[in-house]
């Protein structure tokens, strides 16, 4: 399907690896100019080269901390106008909630709630004026159901979801949409680090933990960043203008609820 976004400018935050990279690749495949981002320059430049080679699109790598004001300025300054914004960032570490002190709580809120809101504040009026904008926020399945050790993830991301629920309705008239993608288990470094630490603490091989993880998912497999990226690209497409304020859970059926 032609997504109808060829020539659009996209910023995909935290996209040198993992889910962000999956989204950046599919937007590039759809013909967008894509700003990609990460803190490690070597990884970022390698990724930029690979996506550009694979898709033929213009990829602009910006080394920056997306949670810092200076980093956001660099990202926003990389293109003359922003048509598509994919908000993403690293998630908080697994931790018993008793160990999350005030500083860690505030850091989690800044990373996973405040920073995406700041970026939206910076781009949304231009989108409204031009009568096109697509904003996708990568959150987590932890928005729908708690995950042990990720209470800060649930809290900050639910805060973001609640904050933007009204904002999404306020800009829908101008063909500007704001949606959320909620990953379950996807094959990225973050997931594999989690599997490795579970394997270490139980004294078993990572393959054992991975097999258990897969067995618990109705689809019997872990998700692929490419399929996550394709869903993101559709939400950013010209055809998705009537979808806004929605939370799309991608978890192979792991969430057991009806709704």
Pick one of 152, 156, 191, 249: the residue that binds ligand NAP (CB under 6 A). 191
Q: CB of 108: closest distance to ligand NAP in angstroms?
A: 10
C-alpha 127 chain-centroid distance: 20
Pick one of 10, 20, 87, 108: the residue that binds ligand NAP (CB under 6 A). 20
Beta strands in the chain (DSSP E): 9-12, 33-38, 59-63, 84-87, 133-138, 176-183, 247-250
Residues 6+ apart with CB under 8 A from 176: 124, 127, 128, 132, 133, 134, 135
Count the Cβ atoms, other than its own, within 10 Å of residue 51: 23
138 contributes a contact to ligand NAP by CB under 6 A:
yes
SS3 194: helix
The H-or-E segment that residue 103 falls in is helix 102-109
140 contributes a contact to ligand NAP by CB under 6 A:
yes
| Ranges within 34-73 binding ligand NAP (CB under 6 A) | 37-40, 43, 65-67
189 contributes a contact to ligand NAP by CB under 6 A:
yes
> Which span (50-58, 118-126, 164-172, 179-187) binds ligand NAP, by CB under 6 A?
179-187
Count the Cβ atoms, other than its own, within 10 Å of residue 201: 9
Count the Cβ atoms, other than its own, within 10 Å of residue 258: 4
Relative to beta strand 247-250, strand 33-38 is: unpaired
Q: Which residue, 45 or 165, is less far from ligand NAP as judged by CB?
A: 45
Binding-site size, ligand NAP (CB under 6 A): 29
116 contributes a contact to ligand NAP by CB under 6 A:
no
Pick one of 3, 12, 19, 57: the residue that binds ligand NAP (CB under 6 A). 19
Footprint on this chain of ligand NAP (rule: CB under 6 A): 14-20, 37-40, 43, 65-67, 88-91, 138, 140-141, 183, 185-186, 188-191
């Amino acid at each position: 399907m032609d997504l109808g976004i060829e020539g659009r400018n996209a910023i995909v935050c935290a996209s040198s690896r993992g889910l962000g990279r999956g989204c950046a690749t599919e937007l590039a495949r759809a013909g967008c100019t894509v700003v990609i981002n990460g803190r490690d320059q070597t990884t970022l430049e390698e990724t930029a080269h690979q996506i550009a080679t694979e898709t033929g699109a213009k990829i602009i790598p910006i080394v920056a901390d997306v949670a810092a004001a200076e980093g956001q300025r660099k990202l926003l300054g990389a293109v003359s106008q922003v048509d598509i914004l994919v908000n993403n960032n690293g998630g908080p570490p697994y931790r018993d909630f008793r160990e999350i002190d005030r500083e860690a709580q505030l850091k989690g809120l800044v990373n996973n709630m405040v920073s995406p809101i700041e970026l939206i504040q910076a781009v949304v009026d231009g989108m409204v004026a031009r009568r096109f904008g697509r904003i996708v926020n990568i959150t987590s399945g932890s928005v729908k159901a708690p995950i042990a050790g990720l209470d800060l993830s649930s809290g900050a991301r639910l805060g973001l979801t609640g904050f933007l629920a009204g904002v999404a309705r306020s800009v829908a008239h101008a063909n500007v949409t704001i949606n959320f993608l909620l990953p379950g288990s996807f094959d990225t470094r973050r997931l594999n680090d989690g599997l490795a630490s579970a394997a270490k603490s139980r004294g078993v091989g990572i393959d054992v933990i991975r097999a258990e993880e897969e067995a618990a998912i109705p689809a019997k497999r872990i998700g692929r960043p490419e399929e996550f990226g394709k869903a993101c690209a559709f939400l950013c497409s010209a055809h998705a203008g009537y979808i806004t304020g929605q939370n799309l859970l991608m978890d192979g059926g792991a969430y057991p609820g009806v709704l």
